Amino acid sequence: MAYIIAEPCINVKDKACVEVCPVDCIYEGETMLYIHPDECIDCEACVPECPVEAIFHEDNLPDEWKEFTALNAEESPKCPVINEKKDALEGESCNKAAKKH
């Protein structure tokens, strides 16, 4: 099993999760981040770092986001690995997340 990055990450890409990942299994796509399921060691370090609560264990992924399991598996190998925090996007989702805190 692996952790999955789901819809709340779209147009946010905060990247706080990448600094705590001990195996560098997080990849950066155009609009969101992905976790490579074969590289994830299920350590859960990334979960509390995500300010928009976009990371879930595969077994706890909400039903409305089940397609993100396949999406993470398909897209992560196509994207560059990211292992240091960069600026988040400034999209509408990011602004909503900032207002929550």
pTM score: 0.83
Question: Helix/strand/coil (H, E, C) string of 2-48?
Answer: CEEECHHHCCCCCCHHHHHCCCCCEEECCCCEEECCCCCCCCCCCHH
| Amino acid 32: pLDDT | 97
CA distance linking residue 11 with residue 29, whole number of Å = 10
* H or E element at residue 4: strand 3-5
Using the structure block, give the residue that is written with the tokens 């560059």. Answer: 80
Q: What is the pLDDT of residues 35-91, one digit of tens each?
A: 999 999 999 999 999 999 999 999 999 999 999 999 999 999 999 999 876 665 544
Domains of the chain: 3-85 (3.30.70.20)
